Amino acid sequence: MSEATADGGLAAPQSKVNKRSKRIWVVSAVALALAFGGAAWLLAAPSSESTDDAYLTADATTVAPKVKGFVSKVLVRHNQQVHVGDKLVLIDSEEFTARLAAARGDLDDARAQVAQQQAALLSQQAQEQLALTQIDAARTAIRSSRAEQQHAEAEQQRYQSLAASGATSRNDADRYKTVAVTAEQTSAHAAAMLDVAQNQAAVTHAQRAEIEAALALANAAVMKAQAAEDLAQQDLNHTTIFAAVDGVVGNRQVQVGDYVTPGQRLMALVPDEGIYVTANFKETQTGRMQPGQKADVQVDALPGVTFHGEVDSLAPGSGSTFALLPFEPGTGNFTKIVQRVPVRIRLDPGQPQASALRPGLSVDARVSLTEPVR
């Protein structure tokens, strides 16, 4: 009985150990399976994507005139290297020179009108000031004559009283009466002169306002004439067309004697720097592609030469999205077409034979998906 009990006690712990071991083996097996599956997926995933639907591109500058006229000189040849500020085309400037001279004449005339109105304003201000002075003088004369009249009338009354009592002669009273009458007449004359001076001041003030308005118009005419001269000078300057960038002349379409209009394409300037690759990858190739990944480019025109660069950006839509007639899948019989996404690849500067690159050349592009983004 004791032996059976001992055997049963040993069997129970052994069973627990066996179950724990099995559990550990199962977990280990699952972990190994996941590890092997992940490694297999990584090994199966492509490390790079490539396409031969790619070409070199450059943001060429269109050379166009800002004024119309006949071309008098073309100063560059086809495919000539030019630099910023080089003269490219000359447009006949005779008409524009005449327009500038006429504009300058109009400006001089407008300035003369301003000077004339300024002189008239100064003269009118002097006349208005004279009228104000005459008003002050008339008012002073009125006050003086009235005071003299009052004094004479008072003296007349006093002498009349004295004459009535026999203390003085009537001649003295008559004399002050004459003085009072004269003072009254002087006061009336001064009042009349005051009215005349006030009327004259009102007239000169109105005339000054008219001259000031005319002066404002003359100043506006000067500004307008100045603007016309500036525009005429700009048009004359625009008869000479300069290179805006360093580059090579391409697609020159202009000849001496051609009549050109603003915005008309005369030629293109392909910049020396800034050539990049536009690679059209299938939509299934761009899932892991992102800016900064390294890229290698082989140009068909330069066998055996590899150029290095990096992904600059991915287009916000497929190539057909921005086409003149965008792709629209039909609702009937539908055939799935793999779309392509334009990827811009920027070439590293300073690479040998980079000067031989030309926009439009076909290339093979390969983008590394495993290397870290720079």
155-175 per-position pLDDT tens digit: 667 766 766 666 666 676 667
Report pTM.
0.65
At how many degrees (to 10) do helices 170-237 and 94-164 cross?
170
CATH of domain 94-237: 1.10.287
217 contacts: CB under 8 Å, gap ≥ 6: none
pLDDT tens digits for 90-147? 999 999 999 999 999 999 999 999 999 888 888 878 887 777 887 787 788 777 777 7
Of the candidates 349, 350, 326, the one whose C-alpha atom is nearest the C-alpha of residue 339 is 326
The two three-digit tokens of residue 79, written as one number: 């495919």
Beta strands of the chain (E only): which ranges?
Answer: 48-57, 61-63, 69-74, 81-82, 87-91, 240-242, 247-250, 259-260, 267-271, 276-282, 294-299, 306-314, 340-347, 362-368
pLDDT tens digits for 237-246? 999 999 999 9
What is the C-alpha separation between 369 and 339, in angstroms, rounded? 20
Sheet holding 81-82, edge to edge: 61-63, 267-271, 247-250, 81-82
Where would I find the H helices in 169-322?
170-237
What is the C-alpha separation between 38 and 45, in angstroms, rounded? 10
Other C-beta atoms within 10 Å of 357: how many?
21
The two three-digit tokens of residue 1, written as one number: 């009985």
CATH of domain 61-92+239-269: 2.40.50.100
CATH 2.40.30.170 given to domain 42-59+274-368: yes
Per domain, the residue ranges of the chain are: 42-59+274-368, 61-92+239-269, 94-237
